[in-house]
Amino acid sequence: MKKIILVTSLFLFLFSGISLAYDRGHVYIHGRVDAIYSDSIDISGVNYTIATECKVIIQYKAKNAFHEKAARLSDIHRGDSVYAKKIGTVLYEIIVEGWKR
């Protein structure tokens, strides 16, 4: 009985540590798009998976002010400068710096 409680406690501790790692936040990366596929993207030589709920935004400049508008994955092109929010190797937000085109 003690072994079952010990093993169960170990698994619960292990899984809570993994979920805490995902709750700690995200990291932003910056780079140029090398290639884009239906479910992944290569940015500066690294391949990232695109989450199904990934938010895509294009930044543009008009009258000396920066603006943003919603976009789609099809609006991202090879050579675009992007900022992307990631957890691990999964992207949850991609910001295309359209004013650098």
| CATH architecture of the domain with range 26-100 | Beta Barrel (2.40)
Give the pairing of strands 46-62 and 90-97. parallel
What's the whole-number mean pLDDT along residues 24-40?
92
pLDDT tens readout for residues 56-99: 999 999 999 999 999 999 999 999 999 999 999 999 999 999 98
What's the whole-number mean pLDDT along residues 46-60?
96
Reported pTM: 0.73
Residue 5, pLDDT above cutoff 80: no
- CB-based contacts of 44: which residues, under 8 Å, 6+ apart? 29, 31, 32, 34
| Domain residue limits, the chain | 26-100
Q: Which pLDDT band, with edges at 50, 70 and 90, does 1 fall under?
A: low
Q: What is the pLDDT of residue 57?
A: 97
Strands (E), the chain: 27-36, 40-43, 46-62, 65-70, 81-87, 90-97
Answer whether 93's CB lies under 8 Å from 73's CB. no
